[in-house]
Structure 1
Amino acid sequence: MGKRSRTRSREQAADGEVGPRQPCPCGSGRRYKHCHGAPGGAAPVFVQRPLEGMPSECDLVALRELVPAATAPLPLTGEHADRSVQLCTLLPGAAPAMVRESGEVWLGLQVVHNFGDPSRDLAAVLLEALGQSEAGPVGLGSDPGEGPRLQDLVADEPLRITVHDGFDYWVADLPDSSELAAALEQANDQVDPTDRLTSVEAAYWTNVGSKEHLRWVMPEPEGQLLDALARLHEADRDRLVPDSRLVGMFRAHGLLAPVWDLPVGTGAEALEEPAERFAKDLAEALAEPADLTAEQRSARNGLANRQVTIR
């Protein structure tokens, strides 16, 4: 019995036109039918590493994805340089931004707008808040379209981050009330104890009750970082303290955040010297020009299989 021949129908485009299944000419990487050829126009273009170029990119990713309660003054440049802006992990009601009675603007990081570029969305919310004269929340109800990104508005200075035990900073400038106290207690119950290490950048210890972890957002390109971590893992040089273990990593906004399990009772202070030492070992591993050995490639595959993508 002969096999039935099969043909694949191909969508043909007229001369000078883009076929529905071809890459969109805008450079988004999407097929034309899912981008500028979609009903209603282009879909949002996803920016893989939206906070790249900011002085504290790794800390910003950590505050947006991993740290429950933290704040940092956000220095602006240009016409808004004299305005006081406070960057916050989370605001009451998960508001994107707030204008306080004092005129200070609070910008929330842990907000999802789904418009493709978090940096542009944060900038749009910030500009809206800076232009609002009355105290209250500020939102972003629709795609803001073309406009500045956060990198265009923020001064080239590292952030001065304060990690909090809870969300008491929400009400620090407000009169006490039983209603506020109840809401605050409920919010604080969701906060795991967290500290930022001082010996290295963007490394955060946390205690989740049954375990302690170190989550460390790193700036190196994913492929290079995986190679370096594999070299250290295969050589058993990735243990920060006895009985600690590199268990995997998060991927968020184009960066990797390796995660270590730690013995209960370790605490943040005990990690300062080991983290500093590991940073030096990692720098050496990153500079190693030789190809990975078979054992190192196996270690790399194991690490790559233990990644969880957050965004």
Structure 2
Amino acid sequence: MARTQTKRRPAPSPTAAGEQNPKAPCACGSGRKYKHCHGSGYAPVVTRPFEGLPGETHWVALRELVPAATATLTTKDGRTATLASVLPGGAPALVRASGEVLVGVQLQTSSDDVSRDLGTALAAALDAPAGAPVDPGPIGAEGSAGPRLQDLLDPAAELEVTVHDDFGFWLEGTGAGPAAMAGLEQANEAIIPTVLLEGLGAAYWCRPAADRAHVRWVRPEPEEQLLDALARLGGTEQLTLGEGTKYAGAFRAHGLVVPVWDVPADVPAADWTGPARELDERLTAALAETGPLDAAARRSRAGLLSRQVTLR
């Protein structure tokens, strides 16, 4: 089930002695009480683990939405690695005999800081010999002292995502045997067809069933600002991608909002690029508005909130 939304809250009131009230919301904005957050002695949940990384929206998409995709990572010292949506068996990282380093963003377990989990795996893989197993330690363990992605990656290197039709990239150049090929075939059977809509950031078309398709769009804007803009469009019946489409709801994932539209399944993915670009223009204009919402937009906003769920 969806987890409870984490919202920014006012800074907690001090106690009579001038100390932090342990039952008040923590000043960091996590939404937890101070005694369960910074006052507990443990690190709080990092609600936006990919913040500050180039392509933050794509990091969220590959982590939560996209089955088979890769991108090249460049470290601050000039080394490269391949980011994969998922690796065989959910492995956090591997190093091929050729020396190519691969890191999987979809992990089997996670701590309260996904960036540190992935950074720890990447650092271990970069130090591992070619063809040797990667041992990053217990990924997902609380209190890990490994580096975060922000500590390792070049902030000037853009993240260019390639979406694949299958998991064939798992075995490229490996001379895989029958067992590996059988595992690949089994994984490919579970793939949901997914296409990146060009020139629209992290907007992805997918078809989870023969009669259903969606456009899922990870947005970079702060949640409250984005919700107001979506509500303005909803209040004027402009929150669609055209005839036969409808706004279905939204996910919250790693501090960002992912609006979702239902679209006809028999229309090719590329045909949604134009309508999505037109919607983006309307949304950009709505984001620039700063006045109060009118009655129609307020009703629309209430409906939008009722159709949001939290993934992380």
Q: Which TM-score band (shorter chain)?
A: 0.7 to 0.9
2:75 is aligned to: 76
Partner of 1:235: 236
The code of the aligned residue for 1:211 comes to R
CA distance in 2, matches of 1:195, 1:14: 57
Deviation digits for residues 21-56 of structure 1 (CA, Å, limit 9, x no counterpart): 466799876446535765xxx333111111111110
CA distance, structure 2, for counterparts of residue 284 and residue 28 of structure 1 = 30
Which of 82, 95, 99 is the matching residue for 2:95?
99
Residues 24/225 of structure 1: CA separation in 2 closer, same or farther (3 Å cut): closer
Structure 2: how far apart are the matches of 1:62 and 1:36?
Answer: 29
Decide whether aligned partners of structure 1 residues 36 and 61 sit closer, same or farther in structure 2, where only a CA change above 3 A counts.
Answer: closer
- Paired with 1:195 and 1:187, the residues of 2 have a C-alpha distance of 18
- The structural deviation recorded for 1:199 is 2.6
Match in the other structure for 2:49: 50
Matches within 5 A, 1:104-119: 104-111=100-107, 113-119=109-115
Partner residue, 1:126 = 122
Q: Secondary structure at the match of 1:195?
A: strand
Deviation for aligned residue 1:207: 0.8
Whether the 8 Å CA contact 1:99–1:138 is kept in 2: the answer is no
Q: 1:259 to 1:140 in 2, by over 3 A?
A: farther
> How far did residue 14 of structure 1 move?
12
Structure 1 residues not aligned, in runs of 5+: 1-12
Q: TM-score, normalised by structure 1?
A: 0.86
Distance in structure 2 (CA, Å) of the matches to 1:181 and 1:229: 45
**Secondary structure in 2 aligned to 1:74?**
strand
Residues 122-167 of structure 1: per-residue CA shift (max 9 Å, x gap):
1111111111225224444134534532122112222121101111
Say whether the 8 Å CA contact 1:249–1:258 is kept in structure 2. Answer: yes
What does residue 171 of structure 1 align with?
Answer: 171
Q: What pairs with 1:216-255 in structure 2 (closer than 5 Å)?
A: 216-255=217-256
- Whole-Å separation in 2 of the counterparts to 1:207 and 1:154: 33
Which one has a bigger Cα radius of gyration? Answer: 1
Alpha-carbon contact 2:43-2:143 (below 8 Å) kept: no
1:66 aligns to what?
65
CA distance in 2, matches of 1:102, 1:265: 42
Q: Which residue of 2 aligns with 1:3?
A: none
Residue correspondence of structure 1 range 1-311 to structure 2 within 5 A: 21=23, 30-31=32-33, 33-35=35-37, 42-78=41-77, 81=78, 83-111=79-107, 113-134=109-130, 135-141=132-138, 142-143=141-142, 145-155=144-154, 156-209=156-209, 210-311=211-312
Query: Which one-letter code corresponds to 2:60 in the other structure?
Result: V
Q: Confirm or deny: 8 A CA contact 1:44 1:115 kept in the other structure.
A: no
1:44-92 Cα shifts (integer Å, max 9, x gaps): 31111111111100011001100000001111112xx1x3300000001
Distance 1:194 1:238 in 2: 22
Secondary structure of the residue that 1:216 maps to in structure 2?
strand
Q: Deviations over 1:149-199 (max 9, x none)?
A: 212211222212110111111111121422122111110111011000113
Local SS of the residue matching 1:130: helix
| 5+ long unaligned stretches in structure 2 | 1-14
4+ runs of 1 displaced by more than 4 Å? 13-33, 35-38
Equivalent position SS for 2:304:
helix
What percent of counterpart residues are identical? 47
Amino acid at match of 2:167: F
Q: How many residues align?
A: 293
Amino acid at match of 1:253: H
| Aligned-partner Cα distance in 2 for 1:16–1:240 | 53
Structure 1 residues 21 and 277, CA, compared in 2 at 3 Å: closer, same or farther?
Answer: closer
Change (3 A) 1:184 1:279: same
Aligned CA distance change for structure 1 residues 250 and 37 (closer, same or farther; 3 Å): closer
Q: Which moved more, 1:55-64 or 1:20-29?
A: 20-29
Q: Say which is worse superposed, 138-147 or 84-93, in terms of deviation.
A: 138-147
Q: Structure 2 counterpart of 1:292, which letter?
A: L
